[in-house]
Amino acid sequence: MPEITPLASILRPQSLSEYFGQSHLVGEGMPLRLAIEQKKVFSMIFWGPPGVGKTTLARIYANALGADFVEVSAVSTGKADIKKVVQSSEKTQKTTVLFLDEIHRFNKAQQDYLLPFVESGVLTLIGATTENPSFSVISPLLSRCRVFVLKELEPADMNAIIDRVLAVIPAKAGIHVDTRDWLIAVSNGDARQVINLLENCFNLYHQITLDDLKNTLQSKFLRFDKQGEEHYNLISALIKSMRASNPDAALYYLARLVESGEDPLFIARRLVIFSSEDIGLAQPTALVVANAVFQSCQQIGYPECAINLSHGVLYLSNAAKDRSVYDGLKAAQADVQTTGNLPIPMNLRNAPTKLMKNLGYSKGYEMYTSKDLLPDQLKGKKYVNEKK
C-alpha cells in the first residue's frame, strides 16, 4: 500500500519567503534571517512550543548552507546513531547540520558525547526543545550554542496557514469566519495541529464545517507537561494572582490546571503553603480552610474536588494579606545561618538536676515577662512587626 505523505509535510516551507511567524527572528534585519542570508555557520537551540516552525527553520538554514541535513529525535536516538553521523561528516568533509528534536530528552552523558563534535565543527547542532534549555541542556553544550526563542504563531499567521491548506484541498472548502476563529483558538498557535485537523476533517466528511471540525477533534487539547515549564508557569500564575487578590485570574489559572489533569493534591498543597506564607496572621482561618480543601481532595478526588479547590482559591484570593510569618522566619533563619549555635540564655535553660541549678540553669526565669529572651548577640533583634 503506497505511503501517503501528510499535508503538513507537503506544505512545509522551503524558504523564508514561504515561512509564517517568528518575525522577531526572521524579519528583515533579524538575527536568524541574517545568519541564513549570510550563510553563517554556528550551533543553536530552538526553544518554543510545538508546531511553530522549529524543524522548518532548521531545514531552511541547512539548505542555505548547502549542508547535509540529518534529522533525528532524542527519543529514539542513541550514542551509536550520533557516531554514524559523525563518521559520515568526517568522511565527506562537508558541513553537516544535525537537527536533534526534543534535545531535552538526551541525558547528560549523551549531551556530553556531542560536545567535542560541536566544538570542533564536525557537527553543526540545532537542538529543538519545548522546555527551558537552562534546565534541560548541560551548561557546556548550552554555552556553545545560540538560543533562539520561538513564539506561538499569531492569529494572522494562523489565518495565512489556513488559506494555504484550503488552497490545496481538492474541493471548494471555504470556511466561515467563526470556524476560523475556533480553529485558531483550539490550535494554541500550533501550525501542525491546525493543518492536521483540517486535513483529517476533510478526509472524513469531504467538507469543513465547525461541527465537523469539533467531531474530528473530539476533545480540545491543552498543552501541558507535568515535568515541563508550562507546569511551573501555571502554578506560578495561580499563586501570583491570589497574592494580588485577583480572584478572576486565579480561578482561570486554576481551571487551566484542572482541565490539564494536574494532580489536585499538588494544587491543594500550594494552597496550604500560600495560606501561611501570604496571609498568615492577617486571617489565621485561611490555614484551616486550605487544610480542609486538601483533605477534601484526598477524600473525593476529581471531578468534584475541583469545586473544593475553587472554594479555596477564591477564599485565599479575597483574604487579607500579611507576609510577616514568612518574612520573620526567613530573617530568623538567616541569623541562625550567620551566627550558628549561639548560647541559650541561662534563664531559659531547663534545670532537671541539682548540679544544673547550681550552675545557674533556669535562674531568673519569669513565666510572663517583657524582657528580651534572645541570645546576647541578637538582643534587640526584631523578626516580627509589633502589633498596632
Query: CB atoms < 10 A from the CB of 118, how many?
Result: 20
Could you tell me which of 174, 115, 158, 163 has the C-alpha nearest to residue 139? 115
Tens of pLDDT along the chain (388 residues) come to 345 678 888 889 999 999 999 999 999 999 999 999 999 999 999 998 888 999 999 999 999 999 999 999 998 888 899 999 999 999 998 999 999 999 998 989 999 999 999 999 999 999 999 888 988 899 999 999 999 999 989 999 999 999 999 888 865 557 888 888 888 888 878 898 899 889 888 888 888 888 888 888 775 455 555 555 667 788 999 999 999 999 999 999 999 999 888 889 989 999 999 999 999 999 999 999 999 999 999 888 888 999 999 999 999 999 999 999 999 999 999 999 998 889 999 999 999 998 888 989 999 999 999 999 999 899 989 998 765 4
Reading the block at residue 100, the C-alpha cell is: 536533534
Helix (H) or strand (E) holding 10: helix 7-10
Q: What whole-number distance in Å separates Cα of residue 114 and Cα of residue 322? A: 50
pLDDT at 214: 85
Nearest alpha carbon to residue 41 among 72, 64, 73 = 64
> What digits encode the pLDDT tens for the residues 11-24?
899 999 999 999 99
Q: Give, in order, the Cα–Cα distances in Å from 173 to each of 48, 164, 168, 190.
A: 31, 12, 10, 21
13: amino acid identity, one letter = P
Residue 209 vs residues 161, 176, 201, 204: alpha-carbon distances, Å? 17, 8, 9, 12
Q: Which amino acid is at 36?
A: I
DSSP 8-state code for residue 27? S
Domains recognised in the chain with CATH numbers: 22-149 (3.40.50.300), 155-217 (1.10.8.60), 229-318 (1.20.272.10), 340-378 (no CATH)
CB 172 within 8 A of CB 207: no
Is the pTM for the entire model greater than 0.85?
Answer: no
What pLDDT is recorded for position 210? 87
Check residue 225 and give its pLDDT: 54
- The maximal CA–CA distance of the chain, rounded, in angstroms, is 101
At 72-126, the pLDDT tens digits run 999 888 889 999 999 999 999 899 999 999 999 898 999 999 999 999 999 999 9
What are phi and psi for residue 148, nearest 5 degrees?
-115, 130
Q: Residue 306, SS3?
A: helix
